[in-house]
């Protein structure tokens, strides 16, 4: 039997002979969308960084390190169940910062609802857009068939309605949730786009210690064959990481915005779900491991799919075309001047 509660209404469903109990008329609908539903940012803190109290409540709720660090609403994880199913364990979820709405949308994505309830809460259009219907829903076999990068704009909008983001849709590990509440971005460091002549003495000192000079700093660029500091991923910086941190970087902002994952192996790209972006840009395992994948098409000539792939690995028109920082009018890589065509 499945129980779930929303806005004071109780539903009961059996998976055998009784499907639902007193489900409101489908003519009456209550619209629920992501807008206005409070996300719980604590859910996107990695297990290793949780307080002892948070870990205690997470374990009581049914999490372990693996389940916590890989949010997913499928399988046997606690997130495959709606709020009502949690029963007495709801108190642990509340201690973790959840409420009924945030759990059902951001954690369960309404997967544990019956189709009648999906219709009542006006979510059926979103589900149908994603290719799901009553048949798969009530049998519990609806699942993501495409990667986020392959979804149409309409499908992405439908996924967002049920509180999916790229990270949750592709079931990425929390390592990739730098911005809390699920947005799949890598937190750009705006200080990197200040020209050398405008840097403070302290910034210049750290930049030099990291391996920059004025030319390298004012011309952000990286290729696998480069010898500049930006040709190395975060772990490749070794002891120099502290200088990068002093400049405002962390592991994810460096690897995405500075290195664009060029120093990753192909197996690492596949593990982190980045290989599709590389393939969309015309790069393959062969050229990647051989170190000869290069940028050879101007930004203005890229297709929409190619631009989306480039943006996913933190390229902008300016960084893609290796322009001088003078072209970065707004920080974090926005392209300004008309020379982009």
pLDDT in tens, 16-34: 222 233 343 333 344 454 5
User: Do 90 and 194 sit in the same domain of this protein?
Assistant: no
Three-class SS state of 3: strand
- Cβ atoms within 10 Å, residue 257: 25
The predicted model gives 215-233 an average pLDDT of 78
Residue 3 has pLDDT above 50, yes or no: no
In a domain, 101, yes or no: yes
Q: How far apart are CA 227 and CA 236, in angstroms?
A: 12
Of the residues 123, 148, 176, the one at which a domain ends: 176
Q: How far apart are CA 89 and CA 63, in angstroms?
A: 12
In a domain, 74, yes or no: yes
Q: What is the pLDDT of residues 55-99, one digit of tens each?
A: 999 999 999 998 999 888 666 789 999 999 999 999 999 999 999
In a domain, 182, yes or no: no
User: Do 155 and 287 sit in the same domain of this protein?
Assistant: no
Residue 235 has pLDDT above 50, yes or no: yes
pLDDT given at position 291? 81
pLDDT given at position 336? 36
In a domain, 304, yes or no: yes
User: Do 224 and 300 sit in the same domain of this protein?
Assistant: yes
Is 270 or 264 the better-scoring residue by pLDDT?
264
Q: Determine the structural domain holding residue 228 and report its residue range.
A: 190-340
pLDDT given at position 265? 93
Backbone angles phi, psi at 129, to 5 degrees: -60, -35
In a domain, 134, yes or no: yes
Nearest to 212 by CA among 257, 247, 252: 247
User: Do 149 and 202 sit in the same domain of this protein?
Assistant: no
Alpha helix stretches (DSSP H) within the chain = 52-61, 65-69, 90-95, 100-102, 115-120, 124-129, 134-138, 153-161, 166-169, 201-210, 214-218, 241-246, 251-253, 266-271, 275-280, 285-290, 304-312, 317-320
User: Do 166 and 295 sit in the same domain of this protein?
Assistant: no
pLDDT given at position 330? 55
In a domain, 321, yes or no: yes
pLDDT given at position 180? 60
Residues whose CB falls within 8 Å of the CB of residue 148, separated by 6 or more in sequence, listed in order: 156, 159, 166, 169, 170, 184
pLDDT given at position 259? 92
Buried b (16+ CB within 10 A) or exposed e, 87-121: eeebebbeebbbebbbbbbbbbbbbbbbbbbbbbb
Residue 311 has pLDDT above 50, yes or no: yes
pLDDT given at position 26? 37
Of the residues 125, 141, 176, the one at which a domain ends: 176
Q: What is the pLDDT of residues 129-153, one digit of tens each?
A: 999 989 888 777 777 778 887 889 8
Residue 183 has pLDDT above 60, yes or no: no
DSSP letter, residue 24: P
- pLDDT class of 36 with cuts at 50, 70, 90: low
Of the residues 127, 154, 176, the one at which a domain ends: 176
Residue 12 has pLDDT above 90, yes or no: no
Burial class (CB in 10 A: 0-12, 13-18, 19+), 76: exposed
pTM higher than 0.75: no
User: Do 336 and 200 sit in the same domain of this protein?
Assistant: yes
Work out how many domains the chain is built from and give that number. 2
User: Do 158 and 238 sit in the same domain of this protein?
Assistant: no
Residue 314 has pLDDT above 60, yes or no: yes
In a domain, 295, yes or no: yes
User: Do 10 and 86 sit in the same domain of this protein?
Assistant: yes
Assigned token pair, 227: 């010898």
- Contact yes or no for 80/141 (Cβ under 8 A): no
User: Do 314 and 235 sit in the same domain of this protein?
Assistant: yes
User: Do 102 and 72 sit in the same domain of this protein?
Assistant: yes
Q: How far apart are CA 272 and CA 173, in angstroms?
A: 8
């Amino acid at each position: 039997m499945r129980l779930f509660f929303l806005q004071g209404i109780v539903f009961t469903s059996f998976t055998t002979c009784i499907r639902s109990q007193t489900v409101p008329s489908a003519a009456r609908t209550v619209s629920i969308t992501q807008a206005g539903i409070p996300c719980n940012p604590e859910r996107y803190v990695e297990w290793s960084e949780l307080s002892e109290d948070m870990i205690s409540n997470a374990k009581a709720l049914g999490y372990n390190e693996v389940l916590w660090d890989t949010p997913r609403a499928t399988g046997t994880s606690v997130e495959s169940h709606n709020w009502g199913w949690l029963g007495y364990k709801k108190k642990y979820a509340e201690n973790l910062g959840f409420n009924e709405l945030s759990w059902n949308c951001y954690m369960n994505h309404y997967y544990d609802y019956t189709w009648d309830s999906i219709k009542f809460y006006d979510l059926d259009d979103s589900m149908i857009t994603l290719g799901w219907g009553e048949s798969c829903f009530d049998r519990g076999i609806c699942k993501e068939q495409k990667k986020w990068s392959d979804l149409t704009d309409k499908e992405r909008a439908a996924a967002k309605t049920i509180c999916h983001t790229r990270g949750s849709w592709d079931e990425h590990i929390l390592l990739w949730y730098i911005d809390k509440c699920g947005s799949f971005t890598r937190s750009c460091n705006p200080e990197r786009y200040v020209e050398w002549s405008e840097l403070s003495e302290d910034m210049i000192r750290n930049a030099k210690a990291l391996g920059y000079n004025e030319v390298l700093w004012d011309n952000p660029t990286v290729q696998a064959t480069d010898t500049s500091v930006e040709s190395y991923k975060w772990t490749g910086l070794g002891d120099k990481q502290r200088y990068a941190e002093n400049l405002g970087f962390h592991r994810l902002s460096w690897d995405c915005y500075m290195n664009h994952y060029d120093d990753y192996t192909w197996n690492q790209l596949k593990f982190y779900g980045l290989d599709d972006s590389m393939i969309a840009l015309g790069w393959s395992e062969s050229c990647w491991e051989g170190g000869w994948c290069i940028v050879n098409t101007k930004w203005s000539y890229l297709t929409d799919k190619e631009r989306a792939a480039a943006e996913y690995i933190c390229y902008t028109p300016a960084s893609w075309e290796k322009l001088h920082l003078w072209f970065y009018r707004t920080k974090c890589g926005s392209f300004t001047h008309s020379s982009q065509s």
